[in-house]
Amino acid sequence: VAVQASASKPSESGIRMNSVSHSKKQHFDTNAIHAGQDPNQWNSRAIIPPISMSTTFLQKAPADHYGFEYSRSGNPTRNCLEECLAALENAEYGLTFSSGLAATHNVTHLLQTGDHILSFDDLYGGTNRLFRTCVIPRGIDVSFVDCTDLKKVEANLKPHTKLVWIETPSNPLMKVVDIKAVCELVKKKNSGVLVAVDNTFMSAHFQKPLLLGADIVLHSLTKYMNGHSDVVMGALCTNNVEVHAKLRYFQNAAGAVPSPFDCFLVNRGLKTLHVRMERHMENGLAVAHYLEKHPSVEKVLHPGLPSHPQYEIAKRQCTGFSGMVSFYIKGGLKRAKTSSATSKCFHSPRASGESRAWPSSPR
């Protein structure tokens, strides 16, 4: 009898699990393949979740549906992906959006005029722009703080602080924030303050912010989670039922949801996430070690290098490292741009976490 071996690992008992339910006890690799994918949810019993492109669904009677009514409010293909993402982040709930910034913007709607966000000062440029040009004009105060310094975090917490926003490792300087320490500090000062962590650069494979005390995890699924440069999408995961209810309401009300086809592509990408991330880590460390010894390089920033300022924190809170490497070239920005432009191996796109190597310099 020929048997197709699964790419997932067997359970500790040595028996390969057949259950496809969302289970936090199953191995990451197994959940990536099976969570949310139960063939019995489809009349066809399809092993690969079908793409449900329908905008609307048959109802028993007006306002009396079978679970789906309109694809903005919920879609079978999207539900599969959201359940799988939740399983990978050890979360109860997952929500997807048309981009990572749409997901970030959705979180800011948990706040009201007069509230305060304490944000990391080293951020993805799109997040920084969103906070400065779209959130602050709504009457929400935003402070940009070095969250690697707990004293600065504590000093900048205010009575009206409602959200702490962390990105770790950060873009572009690869700073690592001690998620557990920040969460403990914030919750001790005010248990009602939410802590959100942008986990894009590590992916769910190497870092689990919710297990370290965070309330919300954000992903730009465009990057490592999808991994193939063919989708723009974002996601939020949480264990807080009240936060989830509000985020889900805003998801539907604002309507920035992904297409079923894009959900299918990301769902497919997740099946190889664990394999891809291990290779990204291997390649990233090799490049980082090479650059550290290069005479034209002034400094290399990679959390897996002992020379990194937060190396011990990274080892403690992460199970591995991505392929992201930041470094300073001697000669400044002009020399850096020349090096990028004359490279024979690198392309120059504006996205990360895919199969190609790429250079980028801060603007």
238 sits in which H/E element: strand 234-238
Segment of 31-40, 50-59, 203-212 carrying the highest mean pLDDT: 203-212
Structure tokens at 318: 């992460």
pLDDT for residue 52 is more than 70 = yes
335 pLDDT band, cuts 50/70/90, is confident
pLDDT for 332: 84
Window from 285-294, 299-308, 348-357 with minimum mean pLDDT: 348-357
Higher pLDDT: 140 or 5? It is 140
CB atoms within 10 A of CB 344: 4
What are the two backbone dihedrals, phi and then psi, of residue 98, each rounded to the nearest 5 degrees?
Answer: -70, -10
Among candidate residues 223, 224, 271, 276, the one labeled active-site is 223
148 pLDDT band, cuts 50/70/90, is very high
pLDDT for residue 340 is more than 80 = no
pLDDT for 23: 56
pLDDT for 348: 60
Is 72 among the catalytic positions?
A: yes
Mean pLDDT on 59-76:
92
Among candidate residues 9, 72, 187, 246, the one labeled active-site is 72
Contacts of 200 (CB under 8 A, 6+ apart): 100, 124, 167, 171, 218, 219, 220, 223, 224, 353
Window from 55-69, 189-203, 229-243, 265-279 with minimum mean pLDDT: 55-69
Among candidate residues 78, 124, 162, 208, the one labeled active-site is 124
Cα(158)–Cα(142) distance, rounded to whole angstroms? 11
Cα(88)–Cα(77) distance, rounded to whole angstroms? 17
pLDDT for 6: 37
pLDDT for residue 218 is more than 80 = yes
List the one residue out of 160, 167, 169 whose CA is nearest residue 144: 167
Higher pLDDT: 336 or 302? It is 302
Average pLDDT over all residues of the chain = 90
Window from 41-55, 86-100, 273-287 with minimum mean pLDDT: 41-55
Is 230 among the catalytic positions?
A: no
Is 223 among the catalytic positions?
A: yes
Window from 52-66, 193-207, 306-320 with minimum mean pLDDT: 52-66
Is 198 among the catalytic positions?
A: yes
Q: Are 64 and 72 in contact (CB under 8 A)?
A: no
Which domains does the chain possess? 64-270 (3.40.640.10)
190 pLDDT band, cuts 50/70/90, is very high
Contacts of 339 (CB under 8 A, 6+ apart): 296, 329, 359
pLDDT for 349: 57
pLDDT for residue 15 is more than 70 = no
